[in-house]
């Protein structure tokens, strides 16, 4: 606020300023800490510059010069990074020192943690570089800083910076997994997902990147999420940097704790659903959730030979007990904590299925594209389909009643 001067008294110590004209005096202790911080930053910056070059153009032996002998994790981590960068065909790798964690410095004179801006692009799949701030731990060894560990800094962390990965690459898909046994399985699912999407959206010529962490806890770290955020969710499609930028690379992140319990058909439906989100840029879309999620399920289920009594068992069971919902599923009803989440997805899928059966698949796709481009849904329903939301909602409720009776 202009003209406001705030003066703070520090109980744990004091900072004295002696003014002589425009000069300012800094106490020797504060000056020493500032100088130490600058030295740490300079050493770490030099190490990061070297790591950036050696990870892409050097050798493992050269990288070992930047590991801590007294930290076994350090050597394993650097070896893993060396492997991952090459297996993922990484380009534009850049590591930039941002700022140190002063609390960590205060706790240990030998090590310090700092935020590092990591920039990278996966050749052949990412249209542009990804950027994330990641927490690096360094230690000083003589005239250089060595890398001790990496971790998320709150907003997420790339999987390739945490552990050695098994990488499976196909013409239109890339899978990275912490467990080598998973790589082939997810690669097959990803390739089939590309085929499923292409059958409904033949103009899509993109590719999929599927990241498979070792646990839900690690997934939370990748996405910078709270432990409850994705509990019960099998997979998530998100921009890698967590932004809403439509140009940001988008990957599929698997929750292995949930995905492992899916059968073969269920696993394929989930991955084809997420692949549809990638193909349509759903991670950054602001459209109504029932259309966004229902369309993804429509594509995933379009060529699945399962009866509606199986694919919509939860919502049809609800309709038989309580009657159809009063309204199409809202954004709040797609909250991962909703105990009836499965029924909401099924209700949204049946809405899109009804649209395709009534107006044709191409009109459903057109509606989705028009709403995604920014046209409000009520206007799009009128302009594309010649109907309105109230009329369609009534048709959908009747459709649910009819299906519930037929499969009851």
Quick: pLDDT tens for 247-303.
Answer: 999 999 999 999 999 989 999 999 999 999 999 999 999 999 999 999 999 999 998
> What separation in angstroms does the CA of 43 have from each of 81, 145, 219?
20, 5, 32
User: DSSP secondary-structure letter at 49?
Assistant: H
Predicted pLDDT of residue 16: 31
pLDDT digits (tens, 9 = 90+) for 52-97: 999 999 999 999 999 988 888 899 999 999 999 999 999 999 999 9
The answer to pTM > 0.95 is no
Task: Give dist(CA 11, CA 25) in Å, integer.
Answer: 20
Task: Give dist(CA 281, CA 301) in Å, integer.
Answer: 19
pLDDT confidence band for 28 (50 / 70 / 90): low
Q: Which two tokens stand for residue 248?
A: 């940001």
Q: Which two tokens stand for residue 98?
A: 């941002």
Task: Give dist(CA 325, CA 393) in Å, integer.
Answer: 10
| CA quadruple 255, 258, 260, 266: dihedral sign | negative
What count of other Cβ atoms lies within 10 Å of the Cβ of residue 235?
A: 24
Mean pLDDT of 165-174: 96
Mean pLDDT (the chain, rounded): 89
Q: Which two tokens stand for residue 58?
A: 């050097």
pLDDT digits (tens, 9 = 90+) for 223-237: 998 888 888 899 999
CB 29 within 8 A of CB 14: no
Predicted pLDDT of residue 361: 97
Predicted pLDDT of residue 19: 38
Task: Give dist(CA 151, CA 224) in Å, integer.
Answer: 11
Task: Give dist(CA 195, CA 190) in Å, integer.
Answer: 9
Q: Is the pLDDT reported for residue 220 higher than 60?
A: yes
Task: Give dist(CA 217, CA 143) in Å, integer.
Answer: 37
Predicted pLDDT of residue 17: 31
Q: CA 9: distance to chain centroid?
A: 43
Task: Compare 109 and 245 and report the one with higher pLDDT.
Answer: 245
pLDDT confidence band for 175 (50 / 70 / 90): very high
Predicted pLDDT of residue 109: 59
Mean pLDDT of 162-187: 96
Closest listed residue to residue 256, CA positions, set 232, 225, 234:
234
């Amino acid at each position: 606020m202009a003209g406001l001067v705030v003066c703070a008294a520090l109980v744990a110590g004091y900072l004295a300023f002696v003014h002589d004209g425009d000069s300012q005096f800094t106490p020797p202790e504060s000056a020493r800490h500032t100088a130490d911080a600058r030295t740490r930053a300079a050493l770490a910056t030099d190490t990061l510059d070297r790591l950036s070059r050696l990870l892409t153009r050097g050798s493992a032996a050269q990288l070992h010069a930047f590991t801590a002998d007294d930290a076994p994790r350090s050597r394993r981590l650097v070896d893993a990074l060396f492997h991952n960068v090459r297996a993922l065909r990484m380009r534009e790798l850049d590591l930039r020192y941002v700022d140190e964690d002063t609390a960590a410095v205060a706790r240990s004179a030998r090590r310090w943690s700092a935020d590092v801006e990591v920039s990278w692009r996966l050749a052949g799949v990412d249209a542009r570089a990804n950027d994330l701030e990641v927490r690096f731990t360094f230690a000083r060894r003589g005239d250089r800083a060595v890398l001790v560990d990496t971790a998320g800094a709150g907003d997420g962390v790339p999987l390739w910076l945490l552990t050695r990965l098994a990488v499976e690459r196909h013409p239109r898909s890339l899978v990275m997994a912490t467990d080598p046994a998973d790589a082939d399985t997810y690669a097959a699912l990803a390739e089939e997902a590309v085929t499923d999407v292409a059958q409904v959206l033949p103009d899509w010529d993109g590719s999929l990147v599927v990241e498979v962490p070792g646990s839900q806890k690690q997934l939370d770290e990748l996405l910078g999420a709270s432990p409850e955020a994705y509990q019960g969710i099998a997979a998530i499609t998100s921009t890698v940097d967590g932004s809403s930028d439509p140009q940001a690379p988008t990957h599929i992140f698997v929750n292995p704790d949930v995905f492992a319990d899916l059968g073969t058909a269920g696993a394929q439906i989930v991955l084809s659903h997420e692949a549809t989100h990638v193909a349509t840029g759903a991670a950054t879309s602001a459209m109504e959730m029932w259309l966004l999620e229902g369309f993804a399920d429509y594509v995933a289920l379009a060529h699945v030979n399962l009866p509606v009594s199986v694919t919509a068992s939860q919502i049809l069971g609800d309709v038989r007990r309580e009657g159809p919902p009063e309204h199409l599923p809202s954004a709040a009803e797609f909250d991962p904590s909703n105990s009836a989440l499965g029924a909401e997805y099924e209700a949204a899928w049946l809405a899109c299925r009804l649209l395709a059966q009534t107006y044709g698949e191409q009109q459903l796709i057109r509606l989705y594209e028009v709403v995604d481009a920014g046209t409000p849904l009520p206007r799009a329903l009128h302009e594309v389909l010649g109907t309105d939301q109230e009329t369609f909602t009534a048709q959908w409720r009747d459709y649910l009643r009819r299906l519930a009776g037929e499969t009851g």
